[in-house]
Amino acid sequence: MAAHTSNRGNHQSKTPVTIITGFLGAGKTTLLNYILKEKGSRSIAVIENEFGEVNIDRELVADNLLAKEDLVSLENGCVCCSLRKDIVKAFAEIERRSRQQAKRVDAIVLETTGLADPAPVAFTFFANPWLASRYRLDSIICVVDARYLMQHLEDGQHSDGTVNEAVQQIAFADLILLNKVDLVVEEEAKKQVVTAIKSINNSARIIECQLNQETGRPPMDLLLFNNLFSVNRVLEQIDPQFLDSDSDSDLSEDEELSPHDSAQQQQQQSGDLDPGQAGRAVSAAAAAAADSGPLGPTGAPDADTDAVASVQAAELASVAPAAHSGDDDAAQGAAARSSGQAGPSSKTHLSAAASLLRKYRVNGPSGHLTGRKHRREEHDCEDNCEECHIVEGMPIKGDRNPKRRAKRLHDLSDVSSVGIMARGTLDEYRFNMYMRDLLAEKAKDIFRCKGVLSVHGYGNTKFVFQGVHETICYGPAEQPWKPDEQRINQVVFIGRGLDRKALIEGFRTCVWVPLPDGWDEFRDEKTRQPFYVNRRTGEKSWARPVIACARVVATQGATQQPSQLLPRRQPSQLTTQLSQPVSAATTAGQSIPPPIAAGTAAQSAA
């Protein structure tokens, strides 16, 4: 780990950092899990950034980590904007933990959210002196969803010439994993995707893969320690003015931590970072690290006198203003750093860094996750308007004319996440119906949904569900529910124009509740729709009776007469029916099948 390396400024001795980027649902976490499983004796720490209100990825990644200390989560925000300060703090936290356990870290993998622009994240490694002295960017890997890329690119090309995150992610990649090739059967369609990728980034290597299959994964040595990132490439092929520097910096003022923050920092020593607490906790770590000094390779304190200053720099996550030193200086400095030569003068370094950070500091005061509805057309704003998340950005490749540079739009004002948690177990059928109806109506706008579920009738099997637009699959998690683990269902939806209230209310109806005494549940053999029979009276109903007023509810809203139902079956048959795994309804990569015609008993059952 960087804290365990005494060489400063030597490119190869710095701890390599791999950024995994890619649009929502492309397969980033699948890749990360593969890396963690195949890492062998190498020690890898993970910084995981999740956009959603509920962190499902932590659950999915944690099983593959040797220790939970190897994972730092940056939740409910996006590292490229609202959580960017926290990147530095997350690195400091990893150092603190590794120091505490006298453990080395060979590499760090940072998984961004699917909505992140990797550019500002990447440049934090050049802009922040503390990070730059300890870490080097090994490569940016972009995972591309072969099935949905064209849709995402189309969504990303606006009539006003702006581009979206999917484009940025490809443009900045050093390595592109064209994933889910199993879902694109036609060679022509695949070629079209490859052509689209090459039109954005012609220099990155493209590897076709199927990350969810053992046989479809790229070899590990292509992924880590590959030294592919090059600032020169960014300057030459993406934005020649990327490192333009100037003298002003407005960074330090609002990024400094107040004494109040510092007091809070002292209280949090370990554990995953809560949203909002994250930065403070990790800063405390940076401060603690500064106090004790960095460790050398053996774990002994290093006498490096700039240590305190460096770590404090990390804590502040800011750069001091520096005199204007000229574009060439800045570019050369960055290029020199990239190639492992001695760094530029600190003046140049800080100046370039100030320019970069200012350029990419795009989020408004409250960040885009607060559900701001501020839209571009509502006022006549300029580039860099913080309210709109619009910054001056990348040119379209090959376009060297600054006047024609496309503005990059990081307008997530209508994109939100809705996280829902519910205690207990879920009714399989109702949940299937809930998802089917939701996706039938809103699949295009629901970019991503995922969750961890406890389903009634399946004992301690923990189910994971994963959805990307209308593609959804269910399956058992790697680990079952632990005996002392609370059964809390967690789902998260990420998309455009989500109706939070409707999503929550709908999900609530999926929670399994016991039937009133005397009622049995059966399934229609063809549709698998449940129906209910009163043992005593023989009454049948599509609607689920509830305990308090079973008769009333049982007849309310039923869409067909119980007489149309199949004959009553024996309880043993019922058990067989209900023990069908929820995953049997769908298999990976297939859309959820419609068990019954739309709009029938699923809604009325509530």
Ligand X SMILES: Nc1nc2c(ncn2[C@@H]2O[C@H](COP(=O)(O)OP(=O)(O)OP(=O)(O)O)[C@@H](O)[C@H]2O)c(=O)[nH]1
Binding mask 154-193 for ligand X (x = CB under 6 A): -------------------------xx-xx----------
Q: Which of 48, 56, 115 is nearest to 491 (CA)?
A: 56
| Residue 589 touches ligand X, criterion: CB under 6 A | yes
Q: Select 474 or 519, whichever has its Cβ closest to ligand X.
A: 474
Q: Which stretch binds ligand X (CB under 6 A): 18-26, 84-92, 157-165, 337-345?
A: 18-26
Q: Per-residue x/- marks for ligand X, 36-75, CB under 6 A?
A: ---------------------x------------------
Q: Is 28 in the site for ligand X (CB under 6 A)?
A: yes
Does position 217 interact with ligand X (CB under 6 A)? The reply is: no
Min dist. Cβ of residue 484 to ligand X (A): 27
- Of 309, 300, 307, the C-alpha closest to 99 is 300
279 is an interface residue for ligand X by CB under 6 A: no
Distance CA 525, CA 252 (A): 67
What's the rounded Cα separation, in Å, for the pair 204 and 219? 17
**251-260: string of b/e by CB count within 10 Å (b at 16+)?**
beeebebeee
With CB under 6 A as the contact rule, the residue among 30, 268, 425, 583 that binds ligand X is 30
* Closer residue to ligand X, CB minimum distance, 147 or 523: 147
Q: Least Å distance between CB 152 and ligand X?
A: 12
Smallest gap from residue 545 Cβ to ligand X (A) = 36
26 binds ligand X (CB under 6 A): yes
Q: What is the DSSP string of 158-170?
A: -TTS-B-HHHHHH
Q: Does 588 bind ligand X (CB under 6 A)?
A: yes
- From the list 349, 438, 386, 440, the residue with the least C-alpha distance to 451 is 438
For ligand X, give the closer residue by CB, 22 or 343: 22
End-to-end CA distance of the chain: 54
- The size of the interface with ligand X (CB under 6 A), counted in residues, is 23
Among 107, 166, 473, 606, binds ligand X (CB under 6 A): 473
Per CB under 6 A, the segment of 209-217, 322-330, 406-414, 478-486 that binds ligand X is 209-217
Instruction: Give the contacts of 474 (CB within 8 A, at least 6 positions apart).
Output: 453, 463, 464, 465, 582, 583, 585, 586
Among 19, 24, 282, 319, binds ligand X (CB under 6 A): 24
Residue 476 is a binding residue for ligand X (CB under 6 A): no
Interface residue with ligand X among 5, 15, 21, 29 (CB under 6 A) is: 29
The span from the CA of 169 to the CA of 201, in Å, is: 10
Q: Which residue has the tokens 């100030």?
A: 354
Nearer to ligand X, 128 or 210 (CB): 210
Q: Is the dihedral of CA 510, 515, 519, 525 positive or negative?
A: positive
Looking at 16, 77, 114, 294, which residue binds ligand X (CB under 6 A)? 114
Interface characters, 362-381, with ligand X (x: CB under 6 A): --------------------
Task: Output the smallest distance, CB 320 to ligand X, in A.
Answer: 35
Min dist CB 119 to ligand X, Å, is 18
Minimum CB distance to ligand X, residue 238 (Å): 23
Do 85 and 317 form a contact (C-beta atoms < 8 A)? yes
Q: For residue 525, what are its two tokens?
A: 């053999």
Say how far apart CA 211 and CA 178 lie, in whole Å.
Answer: 9
Q: What is the DSSP letter of 416?
A: E
Q: Is 77 in the site for ligand X (CB under 6 A)?
A: no
Task: Indicate whether 207 belongs to the interface with ligand X (CB under 6 A).
Answer: no
- Can residue 210 be called a binding residue for ligand X (CB under 6 A)? yes
Helix (H) or strand (E) holding 462: strand 462-468
Q: For residues 185 and 548, which CB has a smaller minimum distance to ligand X in the complex?
A: 185
Q: How far apart are CA 570 and CA 409, in angstroms?
A: 60
| Residue of 361, 448, 462, 523 that binds ligand X (CB under 6 A) | 448
Rounded distance between C-alpha atoms, residue 511 and residue 423, angstroms: 8
Q: Can you tell me which of 4, 8, 19, 22 binds ligand X, judged by CB under 6 A?
A: 22
DSSP secondary structure of 328-388: HHHHHHHHHHHTTSPP--HHHHHHHHHHHHHHH----TT-GGG-----GGGS-PPTT-TTT
Query: 172 or 532: whose CB is closer to ligand X?
Result: 172
Residue closer to ligand X by CB (options 20, 322) is: 20
CA–CA separation, 593 and 581 (whole Å): 14
User: Read out DSSP for 8-63?
Assistant: -S-GGGSEEEEEEE-STTSSHHHHHHHHHHT-TT--EEEEEEE-SSS-HHHHHHHT
Handedness of CA 81, 202, 342, 327 (dihedral sign): negative
Applying CB under 6 A, among 55, 164, 168, 212 the residue interacting with ligand X is 212
How far is it, in rounded angstroms, from Cα 487 to Cα 460? Answer: 9
Among 245, 454, 466, 541, binds ligand X (CB under 6 A): 466
**Contact footprint for ligand X (CB under 6 A):** 22, 24-30, 57, 114, 179-180, 182-183, 210-212, 448, 466, 468, 473, 588-589
